[in-house]
Amino acid sequence: MLSILNERKSLIFKMRNSLFLILLCLLAGSCGQGTKKEVNLMDSTDTDASEKLSPISPDTQAMKKFTRVEIITDMGRLEVALFDCTPKHRDNFIKLVKSGYYNGTLFHRIIADFMVQGGDPDSKGAPRNKPLGSGGPGYKIPAEITDTLYHYRGALAAAREDDGVNPSRASSGSQFYIVQGSKWDKAKWVDVLKQSAFELFQSNPENLSYQMRFESYQRKKDEAGMAQLRGEVETEVGKISDSMYNAIPGRVKQMYGTWGGSPFLDKNYTVFGFLVSGYDVLEKLNKVETLGDKAGNRPVADVKIISARVMN
């Protein structure tokens, strides 16, 4: 089954179509240049941000800058904009949409407060007991993972097989997901970073003494020594996770904190677009009942993509 890393939890926030396309234009010039420049999907986190930009007409050049795709589902309409800085994924998605490839397919995998996944051709008319998530057009797309595009809420990204069988992180030829995610405060960031921090701590040869002490205390059944060692390791790992958190660009932390998303997916999967409108539909999809992990998180009642078309 084509995989996406596991989940986190939610948020509700809406903005106008014209605002989203103007904001998308803010990142158009930087996302494909291979720089460390941060992507600004929002120019402000002020509550009146939409009021500042909403007078801009929907038919301005900014609205025309991105290739937009309309996806009609039986739960409502979604509109996505495709990034020019991921041309292989953009062109492939356009080709499949124009061919009618997605028409009749299902959102076959939905994980609450994480993401909704579709694009498996085997899902067309699939019976309830049929495993889904392995289908595709017979080819993969080379990864276009950049350090300037993030898994903010609404990110459109490509599903792929696990690193074990797909070390190049090539994308599925057709399967995609849209991020729901959740808001991230410092405590949540640090909690997730602790695992990576512990692995770094463990792999550092300078920390071999901790392992030796652990084995010694274990042999002697020295509970007091073990407790002291645990405290020391926790302190050192905490320093590493704090350092990792501080290294995250401020703008990125701000976006995940106010807008939400799934940052643990960053730099692991190709983000190639963003949801422009239909956040109410994304919310409804996020809340559908599923059959659970053992059934690939397939919705109890099928959620169908009725049609998809390129808008411009």
**pLDDT over 70 percentage in the chain:** 79
Total domains in the chain come to: 2
179 vs 66, residue with greater confidence: 179
CB atoms within 10 A of CB 190: 15
Residue 96 has pLDDT above 90, yes or no: yes
How far from the centroid of its chain's Cα atoms is residue 172's Cα?
A: 15
What separation in angstroms does the CA of 154 have from each of 18, 150, 283, 295?
Answer: 15, 10, 11, 25
pLDDT attached to residue 147: 86
Residue 151 has pLDDT above 60, yes or no: yes
pLDDT attached to residue 62: 47
- Mean predicted confidence (pLDDT) in 138-154: 94
- Mean predicted confidence (pLDDT) in 160-187: 95
- C-alpha gyration radius of the chain: 22
pLDDT attached to residue 60: 42
Residues 51 and 198 in one domain: no
Q: Is residue 92 part of a domain?
A: yes
Q: Is residue 12 part of a domain?
A: no
Q: What six digits make up the tokens of 312? A: 């411009």
Q: Is residue 205 part of a domain?
A: yes
Residue 138 has pLDDT above 60, yes or no: yes
Residues 132 and 201 in one domain: no
- Mean predicted confidence (pLDDT) in 35-57: 30
Residue pair 307/194 in contact by the 8 Å Cβ criterion: no
pLDDT band, residue 31 (cuts 50/70/90): low
Residues 168 and 213 in one domain: no
Please state which of the ranges 30-39, 124-133, 144-153 shows the lowest mean pLDDT: 30-39
Residues 174 and 40 in one domain: yes
Residues 29 and 160 in one domain: yes
Last residue of a domain, one of 247, 272, 287: 247
Write out the residue range of the structural domain in which residue 128 sits: 17-182+261-310
215 vs 101, residue with greater confidence: 101
pLDDT attached to residue 192: 86
Residue 122 has pLDDT above 50, yes or no: yes
Residues 160 and 279 in one domain: yes
Residue 252 bridge partners (DSSP)? none
Residues 6+ apart with CB under 8 A from 15: 49, 50, 279
pLDDT attached to residue 180: 95
Residues 129 and 84 in one domain: yes
Which of 24, 291, 290 lies closest to 156 in space, CA to CA? 24
Residues 234 and 201 in one domain: yes
Please state which of the ranges 36-50, 120-134, 180-194 shows the lowest mean pLDDT: 36-50
Residues 199 and 134 in one domain: no
pLDDT attached to residue 166: 96
Q: Is residue 225 part of a domain?
A: yes
Residue type at 44 in one-letter notation? S
Provide the whole-model pTM: 0.78
- Mean predicted confidence (pLDDT) in 89-117: 97
| Mean per-residue pLDDT of the chain | 82
Task: Give the pLDDT confidence of 272-284 residue by residue, as tens digits.
Answer: 999 999 999 999 9
Q: Is residue 254 part of a domain?
A: no
Residues 39 and 120 in one domain: yes
Q: What six digits make up the tokens of 97? A: 């949409």
Residues 25 and 131 in one domain: yes
C-alpha–C-alpha distance, residues 183 and 190, integer Å = 14
Q: Is residue 255 part of a domain?
A: no
C-alpha–C-alpha distance, residues 312 and 310, integer Å = 6
Residues 21 and 120 in one domain: yes
